Amino acid sequence: MRYTKIGKMDINVSVIALGTFAMGGDSNWGPCDDEESTRIIHKAMDLGINMFDSAPVYGLGHSEEMLGKAISGRRDKVFISTKCGLRWDIDEGYIHRQRDGITLRRSLMPESIREEVERSLKRLNTDYIDLYIPHWQTMAGYEPSKAVTMEALCLLKKEGKIRGIGLSNVSAEDIQENSKYGQIDLVHNRFSMLERDAQKDVIEICKEKGIAFQAHSPFQQGILAGKITLDTIIEIGSRAGNKWYEKENLKKVLVMLEKFKPLCDKYSCSLSGLVLAWTLQQIPNMIVLCGSRKIAQIEENASALDILLEESDLAMIDRTINETIN
């Protein structure tokens, strides 16, 4: 396993992190077996992965509870990031989306953040969270300001309840503004072969300010992992609304992936291994967040660290991506 620093935090984290979104067991991904999830977490630790990502909204608390139980007795061996700002138990705030018969609302009011962190600490069975991340920014016309939110987060950091502050699903402008009021250690944004260009400005400001960048959804919700075909039926969760699953777009992606198969033979790896290796080589100290529902998946993800793509192959991949998305 390779490790890197997060922002100004003097902590080494694995460049591959394990996400527990699917382990929440809600309609985004369908039912999930807690015993299998626990085995996956333990296997990840055995492979040297020490960074684990969760959020209260993943399974309405279930993901955090499951993660807390899985790391019991080994808390000092792991780095936990979790989030705040998406509530299903309040009536005020910007409506984010509706799911499973509930309404999710964005709220980054100081009192809401404090209430959330206490609940997350209890569910995770810990007295501190390594990295705390507002899941989404508030929308125009909804309070509080970024200054007020950052003040609340910095106070939690001063109290020792959290060790670092991250941002998620943000623009370069969001990073610039939030950074005025406190140290940002990591930005957690969607990044994949199909969405890389949208992150150029974000990655640039992260480099400028010494902020770590973590790519989530590197397989574009499974479409780049090599298991999806034109006959695959997607009925649940956010994947059903992913434009790349639309028939015409999917055809383009499948043609692109077919062109990568000779590289899989060259590097003796799976398509998902190639995609993950490419992602890791996009910027220095890239951290990639991967979800896994099977032991074999976490093992395959970790094996991508053994792949170092040659410059000519990186250039070929880039040309093929451009032909697909442009």
> Exposed/middle/buried for 95, CB within 10 Å: 0-12, 13-18, 19+?
exposed
Residue 194 three-state SS: coil
Which candidate in 3, 58, 142, 245 is catalytic? Answer: 58
Order of strands, edge to edge, in the sheet holding 94-99? 86-87, 102-106, 94-99
For residue 131, give the amino acid letter.
Answer: L
The CA distance from 276 to 36, in Å, is 23
The CA distance from 247 to 245, in Å, is 6
Q: Active-site residue 142, yes or no?
A: no
Which two tokens mark 248? 């015409």
Q: Are 175 and 202 in contact (CB under 8 A)?
A: yes
> Exposed/middle/buried for 100, CB within 10 Å: 0-12, 13-18, 19+?
exposed
Which active-site residues does the annotation give?
Answer: 58
